[in-house]
Amino acid sequence: MLLLATTALEKIKDVPPMFWVKVAVALVGFIVAVIVIQKVWHMNKLALALIIFVVGGILSFSWVYKRNEPAFMTWLIEPIANSGFFPTEGGSELRNINEDGTKAKKAPVPAPAKK
């Protein structure tokens, strides 16, 4: 039995320290999540709904503007971003592209009239 214990300790010594840091962070994150969920459970439901609405709105507008949504949300964000209603980060470049893929030329600006 002592032989098995020493080999297990030797195996633990071979595990990189970064693994133990990740385990500790995950454990602390889980404990914090449980505490936050308990606090939210006793919170005013109207205030909770307002917070969720504001955070969700900011997150979804950011996804539409920057197009950095997670891959599983692309089916929902793609039509919204391409509708032209909401601004996008590359929107001006996309509007200046012809149907054949070439960049559209800007109309020349007329010179101001002399008095």
pLDDT at 112 over 80: no
Nearest C-alpha neighbor of 79 from the set 40, 69, 4: 69
For the stretch 102-111, what's the b/e string if a residue is b when 16 or more beta carbons lie within 10 angstroms of its beta carbon? eeeeeeeeee
Pairwise CA distance, residues 13 & 6, whole Å: 11
pLDDT at 87 (0 to 100): 84
* The residue type at 45: K
pLDDT band at residue 67 using 50, 70 and 90 as cut-offs: confident
pLDDT at 81 over 80: yes
Written as six digits, the tokens of 91 are 């929107």
Written as six digits, the tokens of 20 are 């133990």
- The domain locations on the chain are 44-88
